[in-house]
Chain A
Amino acid sequence: MTATLKPTNPVDATAVLGLGVYRPSILVDNEQICQWIDSSDEWIRKRTGIVTRHRAPADVSVVDMAEAAATEALKDAGIAGSQVDSVIVSTVTHPYMTPSAASDLAARVGATPAAAFDISAACAGYCYGIAQADALVRSGHAKHVLVVGVEKLSDIIDNHERSISFLLGDGAGAVVVGPSDTPGIAASVIGSNGEKWNAVSMDNSLLRLRDALFDAQTSGDASALLDPEQKLWPTLRQDGQTVFRWAVWEMAKVAAEALEKAGVAAEDLAAFVPHQANIRIIDELSKQLKLPDHVLVGRDIVDAGNTSAASIPLALHRLRAENPDVSGGLALQIGFGAGLVYGAQVIRIP
């Protein structure tokens, strides 16, 4: 007789139980940016909405930032690190291809032997992480999942480049996802459009730097390594127009689908928290969604810049701090970015 497998113990519903953030200490204003690119404070504010962005000191790592945000999220949720059985870190700036930031973080917050893995989904990474956490808890594979979106983008920018670098900041946001009596996380919409793989990307792979080092070491000629024009360290670039069109009109469809999957309408929302890419994307996306006036819109980008995977939890945290009554209400969150990839879901704000 064939043995039968023991079924898992799924739960019906999940929720975001707690939220925490880390904002690095260094503030970079537009005047400083204009030392590197030919622009002005007025131009940057008008075109992007950004006034300042935070950047982390050299001795503060991606995992340091993640730990700070995670510690606050665990406290906010009333959950001990030892109760966490999965740790997901969404980042594109952990400077080790392996091991993961998540396994280091799990040990730091006392979550060993939690499952631990990183997600590379850029600015959609946080929403991908929520989708994963929701699935892990609902399927019975985990009870409490720590999800962190963290970026130290200042490590992968070229300050003299003007397509994206001046938009970017560093930071971390974390949540704890766990079981709930009533649904607190609706079904997610996650997807990709790899045909636009180059729309936001690194300008080169690390192999080019490795080969240049190898050539210099074998030939004894280090001139290529010392030539700033070679730009051997890979940094980010974007095609702003392509990204803008996709981020507004395609993402409006994704946001509408997330509302439909949640079984709610725009007027049921307390907040809209899109990825903080550019204030004009946020405003145009809000317009396309025909959000009623009572829906609060996350606009953390003004002070924090674009922090990729960290931007949604950072914006949500600020929105809740400034509007405590929003707690318990519904938020539509949508992340989108390099890949191109996207993720969206409606959650109940902790």
Chain B
Amino acid sequence: MADKNAILAGLAEIVEEETGLETEEVQLDKSFTEDLDIDSISMMTIVVNAEEKFDVKIPDEEVKNLTTVGDAVTYIANAAG
């Protein structure tokens, strides 16, 4: 399984690039919408950039299940094997 800390760090960089949020704010327990104020379109940009960065596929129907940063990190870690 891929290193979750490395995935979190990489994901935080993607979120920072899309939203301007500091990487330290992107923590596992944070909700993308409630805590980080990321809307559905920004979320999709983050997903596509994460796919490229981690060489995984995140189907449209899975995106709706990624409520927290932790959900996304776990999904990417499992998908990356």
Contacts and interface: CB of A to CB of B under 8 A. Distances in A.
Interface string A250-282: 000000000000000000000000000010100
Nearest to A287: B45
A241 B60 contact: yes
Contacts of A242: 60
A239 B41 contact: no
Contacts of A47: 39, 41
Nearest to B58: A245
B7 interface: no
Interface in A232-251: 239-242, 244-245, 248-249
Q: How large is the interface on B (under 10, 10 to 19, 20 to 34, 35 or more residues)?
A: 10 to 19
A239 B60 contact: yes
Nearest to B64: A241
B36 interface: no
Contacts of B40: 240-241, 244
Interface string B7-48: 000000000000000000000000000000001110111011
26 contacts: A47-B39, A47-B41, A239-B60, A240-B40, A240-B41, A241-B40, A241-B41, A241-B43, A241-B44, A241-B60, A241-B63, A241-B64, A242-B60, A244-B40, A244-B41, A244-B44, A245-B44, A245-B47, A245-B48, A245-B60, A248-B45, A248-B48, A249-B48, A278-B41, A280-B41, A284-B45
A246 to B, nearest CB: 9
A174 B4 CA distance: 54
Nearest to A242: B60
Contacts of B44: 241, 244-245
A241 B39 CA distance: 10
Contacts of A248: 45, 48
Contacts of A284: 45
A241 B48 CA distance: 11
Contacts of B60: 239, 241-242, 245
